[in-house]
Amino acid sequence: MINYNPKEWFTFIFRIHRGDTVRQLTPMLISLSVYVALIAFLELEVFKLGENSHLKNITILHGMLGFVISLLLVFRTNTAYDRWWEGRRMWGTLTNNSRNFAMKINALLSSSDTKHRQFFNDMLVEYAFALKRHLRGHQNNSEVFASTIAVEHDVHKPNHIAKLIFARLNQLYENKTITGTQLLLLNEEFKTLTEVCGACERIKNTPIPFSYSVFIKKFIFFYVMTLPFGYVFSLGYIAVPIVVFVFYVLASLELIAEEIENPFGVDNNDLPVTQMCKNIQKHVGEILSL
């Protein structure tokens, strides 16, 4: 995720970063420029179509459809941002829940019980990092511990870690280290771990419906490809940059929506989940005095 000062207008205007839509769309912008210039040349120089041509009336259709396509893109970007924001809420919940869990464990365990303190510290931290790797589609070795949890490649690692945490809580209850009431108190924090994981999986694994995504792309394509037929009569060759700019605006909105609808990746606009995991590691360690 890019950290920035929203008040620096001129910096934004002249800054081009790796994920900028201009770079992604450059080949299509060049191709579209050639296409519009060819249409203008054929209408003005070859066929010499004048103001009496019926093609100039196609601009009426573009005016009507422009409102429709704007509504579609607004809905598209709002839906994508809602997914991005829900992902941020879920990771905020995981951070707060890890702190609360650590605070309760710290109060319930004696200061000399370093074994159990270390276990819960390691498991809470590793759960966050394992969830991050799970959402990004891989389960490499832990970035935090040398050999904390060894599981099979196809095992759901966050679930495995949650299972180990609850097994240890149950062991503390059976050993009468904690009471039944205290176990129920900790269970509320434990339950949130899997709820956050499930919500993040829902965001990642449920993209926008295929038909809707295809329709928007086709709509933008045919809308832009027919623009020069009517606007060449009133704009001449100036229609080339105008049509290219219209396409850039419409396509950029779709590209931005595609990028942020899965906020757990490594794109510039994705959530800084690695930094959130490190914050959890720092705060849980401080609470448990490790």
Note whether 135 and 114 are same-domain residues: yes
Q: How far is CA 283 from CA 26, 94, 272, in A?
A: 44, 12, 17
Q: How many domains does the chain have?
A: 2
pLDDT of residue 234: 81
Assess if residue 133 is contained within a domain: yes
Do 45 and 104 belong to one domain? no
Dist. CA 261–CA 44, nearest whole Å = 44
Answer yes or no: do 114 and 235 share one domain.
no
Residues 198 and 182 in one domain: yes
pLDDT at 147: 47
Determine the Cα–Cα distance for residues 126 and 147; give it in Å rounded to an integer: 11
Based on the fold, state whether residues 125 and 202 are members of the same structural domain.
yes
Residue that is written with structure tokens 């829900």 in the block: 86
Does residue 78 belong to any structural domain of this protein?
yes
Are 171 and 282 part of one and the same domain? Answer: yes
The rounded distance, in Å, linking the Cα atoms of 186 and 123 is 15
Does residue 265 lie in a domain region? no
Does 7 reside within a domain? Answer: no
pLDDT of residue 64: 86
| Same domain, yes or no: 166 and 280 | yes
Residue 267 lies in a domain: no
Asked whether residue 10 is assigned to any structural domain, the reply reads: no
Q: Is the pTM of this model over 0.75?
A: yes
| Predicted local distance difference test score (pLDDT) of residue 232 | 86
Same domain, 24 and 139: no
Shared-domain flag, residues 62 and 195? no
Cβ distance 82 to 76 under 8 Å?
Answer: no
- The pLDDT score that the predictor gives to residue 128 is 95
Residue 53 pLDDT: 65
pLDDT at 168: 95
User: Residue 129's domain spans which residues?
Assistant: 88-206+273-287
pLDDT at 86: 97
What is the full per-residue pLDDT of the chain (290 aa) written as tens digits? 666 666 676 666 666 655 578 888 999 999 999 999 999 998 888 777 666 666 777 778 888 888 899 999 999 999 999 999 999 999 999 999 999 999 999 999 998 889 999 999 999 999 999 999 999 987 766 666 644 565 566 788 999 999 999 999 999 999 999 999 999 999 999 999 999 999 999 999 998 888 988 999 999 999 999 999 888 888 889 999 999 999 999 999 999 999 899 999 988 889 999 999 999 999 999 999 86
Q: Is the same domain home to 160 and 180?
A: yes
Dihedral sign, CA of 110, 112, 113, 118?
positive
Residue 266 within any structural domain of the chain: no
4 in a domain, yes or no? no
Residues 172 and 255 in one domain: no
In this structure, the answer to whether residues 165 and 278 fall within a common structural domain is: yes
